[in-house]
Amino acid sequence: MRIAKYKVLPESKKYFGEIPELRSVYTCAETIDVCRRELEEAPEGWILIRTARGIPIPEINLHEHE
């Protein structure tokens, strides 16, 4: 997923990943592989929660930059 952004948090040395276009979609993990895997799963839950609450889902192509 190329629109994801990753960085290492200096204070904990954990990997932080986010999808800036999807507000509040982020994860933090001990390894970059776990961080990526969790971040790939996060949009599904984000969509389910927004749908259940009647919050609009913005149109976005999660793979548009590949």
Span 4-24, mean pLDDT? 94
pLDDT tens digits, residue range 19-44? 998 889 999 999 999 999 999 999 99
Q: What is the pLDDT of residues 41-54, one digit of tens each?
A: 999 999 999 999 99
pTM given for the model: 0.77
Asked if the structure places residue 23 within a domain, the reply is: yes
Task: Tell me how many domains the chain contains.
Answer: 1
Position 12 in a domain? yes
**pLDDT bucket at 63, cuts 50 / 70 / 90:** low
Residue 60 located in a structural domain: no
Residue 35 lies in a domain: yes
39 in any annotated domain: yes
- Secondary structure, 3-state, the chain: CCCCEEEECCCCCCEEEECCCCCCCEEEECCHHHHHHHHHHHHHHHHHHHHHCCCCCCCCCCCCCC
Alpha-carbon distance values, 33 to 9, 23, 28, 59, 60 (Å): 15, 22, 11, 27, 24
Q: Could you tell me the residue range of the domain that residue 42 belongs to?
A: 5-52
CATH number, domain of 16, equals: 3.30.160.250
What is the per-residue pLDDT for 66? 45
In a domain, 37, yes or no: yes
